[in-house]
Structure formats: C-alpha cells, structure tokens
Chains A and B, each alone.
Chain A
Amino acid sequence: MNLRTFLLGTCSAVALSGLAQAETLTIATVNNGDMIRMQKLTDDFTSKNPDIQLEWVTLEENVLRQRVTTDIATKGGQYDIMTIGTYEVPIWAKQGWLLPLDNLGAEYDVDDLLPAIRSGLTIDGKLYAAPFYGESSMVMYRKDLFEKAGLTMPDAPTWDFIADAARKITDKNNEIYGICLRGKAGWGENMAFLTATANAFGARWFDENWKPQFDQPEWKNALDFYVKLMNDAGPPGASSNGFNENLSLFQTGKCGMWIDATVAASFVTNPKESTVADKVGFALAPDTGLGKRGNWLWAWNLAIPAGSQKVAAAEKFIAWATGKDYLKLVADKEGWANVPPGTRTSLYANAEYQKAAPFAKMTLDSINAADPKNPAVKPVPYVGVQFVAIPEFQGLGTAVGQQFSAALAGQMSVDDALASAQQLTEREMTKAGYIK
C-alpha cells in the first residue's frame, strides 16, 4: 500500500465517520397512546432530517415525572427534549430551567394553538413548551339508561341535575351505579377532580395572601355534596377508584355517568374495548350557576431544558411533532380519529375530523371553558385549574387528597377532613414561606 492510497483511505474513513456522527436527540416521553404513535411515525422526521437521530425513553407518567425532575433540577443533561405537563411548565420556566421556544419556524403558526392551552404554557409573554396533546374533563353518560329513566341530558348540565339523575339511575341490585367519580388519593387523582369541582362551587385553594381556604363554606358545600352523592349513587369501594378503575367500570356497563378526562371518550366509544361503545353521550362538566364549570385543563408538552447543546435540532423536532403537518400525517396513516386532540384551532374546523370524532365539539368547548389564570370564582394568586402551579403542590395535594379519600370511605367526617386539610396546608405554606 503506497502513501497515496493510505492517505485517500484515511480521508474517506474520516469523511464517513463525520457522516455517521449524526446528532442524536434523546427524548423523554410519557407512554400515552398518542406519544407511542408519534414514536412509530418518526421515520417521517428522520427522512426529512437525515442528520438527526432520535433515541426514546418512554416511561409511565409518575416514573417519568420523577426521572425528568431529578435530571433538570441537577442539570444532569440526559435529555434534549422532555415531555412535561401543564403543571411543570410555569414552575420550571420561572426557575430558568427551560428555554423559550422562539425559533419554531415561520410555518409553525403559533396563533393556531388553542388560547386556553397556550396561555398555560406562556410565561411573561414567552412560550416555554409546545403542546402535543391537550385534554379537559367532561361528562360521559349512558344514553340508554337516561332514556329508560325518562331523563334528558342537557349540553351544559348543573350539579343538581347530575346528582338527581345519578340517584334515579342507580340500581344497586343489578350493579348499576348512577355516577363514577375519582376517589383514590393523589394530587393527580382525586384532587384533580375535586379541585376542579370545587372551582364550580365557588371554592379556591388559597386567597390572595396564600391563606388556605378549606375552612370556608364553599369547600364544605363541595365536599359534602361529593361524599353524599357517592354514598348514594357511587360504586362500592369508590375511595380506591382512579381513572383506570372507573374506565373499566364504565366500559363494562356499571356506571350511568362518569366525569373525567376528555381522552377517555375515545376509549369508551371503542367497540373493541367497551361493551357500551354505541350508547355513550357527552356533555360539558357541570356547574352550580356561579360562572365556573368543574372542567380541568391538561396538556402534555414538549420542552427543551436550559443548557441543552442541541437546541436547533430539538427545535426542529418540536416544530415537526406539534406542527400542523403532523396532524395530517397521523390522519393519512391512522385515520382522523387518532389525531392528537386539543392543541390546534384548525383541527376543530376540519370537517373530516368532526366526522371521525363525535366528541370533538365537546372536547373543544370543554377546553375553551377552562381558564388556568382565573380558575376560581374568587381571585387567586396561582395558575392552574385542577392544580396549583407551585412546587409544594404535589406533596400538599396528595396529603389533602388522603383526607378527602378517607372522608369518602367513611373513616372520618367531612368536617374533620376539611379541618385537617386546613391545618396541614397552613403548616406547609408557612414553612415554605408563602404565609409570613
């Protein structure tokens, strides 16, 4: 081998290794159906961007939350893109842990994002995360049981109507319960539902000076109403029911109504999984006439951690995954019913989508009815409809949730549960420096 061949060989080897050294993005994501679909469709992205490779870390929600929180708080740098909820975005953005998404490209059309969702992700006028899919909560009900009981569900029911209907439908001998609601303790379980419901009853977590409000009559009304309703018309053992437990109860025909995440609509109307698929109707989450509905607002979003070395590539990916073309891609490959809902206005104007997803209008109305910056009837110092966007809320929400779950199980009275919620919240908020 002469010197020239050797040099040529070396040069081509170097060039090839340069080509092979494509930038790799590590993406941490939650294992919901829409995210898994995205993972399967990434060939479309990598064929358009051959210099970027993707590595996925798909985890269950609670594991993911712990994992990415540890990494971002210690600036571990394991991930180039993180999937985070609307709860984390305002807290992390204020900490300076996220990069603002300023360069998503001209085609991205930020103004097409649903205003309610966008407002929860915008801090000081800057967008810190791009929504991948959004959800609210609504009433799902059995049309056949309503008909049998001679009831008609209005599009926007009140809590009084819901309670009355639930008691009429209940037929405990045949294992049919008028209403299934979350009771399992946890800030993302029963407290998501109860905090949103309390908003409709005029209650709030804190007043303008961060003083806890569990000693106020509004909370007592809300919790009393919930516990009595569940005792009369709920399934047995409701204090250990979360989303999945209620989903299986509803799918096996045991619930007259279920108030929960809008994403459930596609599960309960899926004939492969649900025995009542063709009998389900939808309505807005109930109110009490005070001007707020008990519907929450949640979105899973893609964000870039501060200090990331691969910002340009990460922005390209986020623009692809949350852009308009992605919705079309999913529709082409898997049908309009499988398009990630709740992020873009244009999707709800699409006639094909409206035809494929009977719950589309109700989802849009529910999302639009939620206002994360003004969640309660009275003014509040925090952001968030079914949560309070402060770092202490995960712990507080779960501790209060345990009291309320115990009240539902009959282990303590509603008054005792509220008193101990008030006491523990006051103590924690004082310790954290909110109450001077």
Chain B
Amino acid sequence: MARNVSTQRKIVVTVVAWTIGILIFFPILWTFLTSFKTEAEAIASPPSLFFFDWTTENYHEVQSRSNYFLHFMNSVVVSFGSTLIGLIIAIPSAWAMAFSPTKRTKDVLMWMLSTKMMPSVGVLVPMYLLFRNTGLLDTRTGLVIVLTLINLPIIIWMLYTYFKEIPGEILEAARMDGASLTKEIIYVLTPMAIPGIASTLLLNIILAWNEAFWTLNLSAAKAAPLTAFIASYSSPEGLFYAKLSAASTMAIAPILILGWFSQKQLVRGLTFGAVK
C-alpha cells in the first residue's frame, strides 16, 4: 500500500538532505576554491567565497615542483593491486566462513578485526626491518603487500556479511548439479554477490588510495604515491594553504571521479541486506 507523502514533508526532507549533503561536501568545495586563490587570499579574514582573482598559479607551481604522474601511477598500482589481491584471498575465506562455519568462526573474525585496533606505529620498526632485509623498501610490490594485509580484515568482514545474505540452498543446488568447489564460487556465488563485491572493491580502493601512514613510511623516491605528494606541500613555517589545496585537489580528483561514476554500486552495496 503506497503511503501519501505530503508536499510539505517532501520539501522538508529535500531541504534537510541537501543541507547535510552540502555540509559534508563543503570542505572539499573549500579546498577546491582555495586552490585558485593566492597565498595571501587563502588566509584573508574574512575569507571570500567566490569573488577573488582566480589564478592557476598554484597548479603551475605544483606541476613544476613535483612529478605528479609518477605519484599518480604509484597510487593507482598500489590501491588497485592491493584490492584485487585482497579480493582473491578474501572471497574464498569469506565463503568458507559464511557457508561452512565452525564453532570458532566468530572468534576468527573478531581476531582479524582486532589487528585493525592496533596502532600502526607500534609495529613500524619491525615492519621497516622486514622490508629492509627483503629489499622491499621503496618498491610498489612492498606497498601492495602491506596494504593488502592491512585491508584484508575489512574486505573479509564486508564479504562475509554479504555472503550471509545469500541462501545456502542455492549453493547446495549447484553442488547437486555437480558443480565443483571452484565452479560454485566463480559461477554461482560471485555473480549473486556482485553488488557486495563491487562496493567492497570500491571502498577498499578508496581506503588504499588514502592510506598515509605506511605509504609514507615505507616509500622514498620511487614508489611514493600521492600521499607523499601531498605531504610535501604543508609546512610549519610559511604560507602553504593555496598550494596544499591545489595538491590535494589533484590527489583526490581521480578517486572522486571514480566514486562519482560508481556511486550507484557503492550505495547499493553498502545498503545491501539492510532492508529485508
């Protein structure tokens, strides 16, 4: 039975939604606007929102000072690489935990999540030594490995919750028809879980793209992704807001565009199973 929603209520809901949306988006808009100001205008008080002398000087400065393309490619390789490897490991493990749970499955899941609760800096030195001894310092391979390990608990948890929504009987039917384990996962489970897998993939690319602790500490010149690019533009002594804003805009633009085009999948995946 369809409910009658009054026009007044619609207006209120729309206004509230837009207000929240604008509030959340405002810092990004502000960064974008600041990137077109001069350093003096960036700190002016009261600040001007749109009426200032627009300049692309900061983008020129950032372009001439850093090799944006190198950092960008490193970010792409590291975030996509770590997410794909993560998914390859996580899909079978989440399948096992969702469809053949044991007494200890819940504990294993909690244990995996608990690794996320440890402050990263606590293991910085041992990790650094391991990387040094294996020659992985400042390599993309090293960063892919470490980001895969860091995001694996989240990938497994997300997939586990999606897989739990899928009726086990469908998989049983596939088995009755003689599907092998691999075929069952690839041809039956995966297609049904596509929205969940897609949103896990996107969310993890975003997480890996933004990860700043390990990518900064384990890279130097060759493998440094966009996080290192941003870190070269803030400064404790001197004005930097306009240049930092330009660098930030350049760093988040690719992931923002990716998120924009795939927002349907993201929303569908994140609310998957929320309404029964």
By a beta-carbon cutoff of 8 Å, the part of chain A in contact with chain B is: 26, 28, 31-33, 36, 39-40, 55-63, 66-67, 70-71, 73-79, 188-189, 242-244, 247-248, 251-252, 261, 263-264, 267, 272-274
Contacts and interface: CB of A to CB of B under 8 A. Distances in A.
Contacts of A71: 128
Contacts of B237: 32, 61, 243-244, 261, 263-264
Interface of B: 38-40, 43-45, 64-66, 124-125, 128-129, 132, 137-138, 216-217, 220-222, 224, 228, 231-240
B241 to A, nearest CB: 9
Given A60-B234, A244-B240, A247-B238, 7 more contacts: A32-B238, A39-B65, A56-B221, A57-B224, A63-B231, A77-B132, A78-B138
Contact of B236 (A67, A73, A244, A273): A244
A59 B232 contact: yes
Contacts of B137: 76, 78
30 contacts: A26-B221, A31-B233, A32-B237, A55-B222, A56-B221, A57-B220, A57-B221, A59-B216, A59-B231, A59-B232, A60-B232, A60-B234, A60-B236, A61-B235, A62-B236, A63-B231, A66-B217, A67-B217, A70-B125, A70-B128, A73-B125, A74-B125, A77-B132, A78-B138, A243-B236, A244-B238, A247-B238, A248-B43, A251-B40, A273-B239
Nearest to B243: A31
Contacts of B220: 26, 28, 57, 78-79
B231 A273 contact: no
A74, A189, A263, A264 pick with most chain B CB within 10 angstroms: A74
B127 to A, nearest CB: 10
A32 B231 CA distance: 12
A116 to B, nearest CB: 20
B132, B138, B233, B236 pick with most chain A CB within 10 angstroms: B236
A337 to B, nearest CB: 15
Given A59-B231, A273-B39, A252 B45 contact: yes
Contact of B40 (A31, A58, A59, A273): A273
A260 B38 CA distance: 24
Contacts of A61: 235-237
A76 B126 CA distance: 12
Contact of A248 (B38, B125, B234, B239): B239
A39 B65 CA distance: 9
Contacts of B39: 273
Return the 5 tightest CB-CB contacts between A and B, nearest first: A248-B43, A55-B221, A58-B232, A78-B220, A60-B234
B120 to A, nearest CB: 12
A74 B239 contact: no
Nearest to B233: A31
A74 B129 CA distance: 7
A6 B124 CA distance: 51
A243 B235 CA distance: 10
Contacts of A32: 235, 237-238
B7 to A, nearest CB: 46
Contacts of A31: 232-235
Contacts of B232: 31, 58-60
A308 to B, nearest CB: 14
Nearest to A245: B43
B128 A74 contact: yes
B231 A251 contact: no
B113 to A, nearest CB: 27
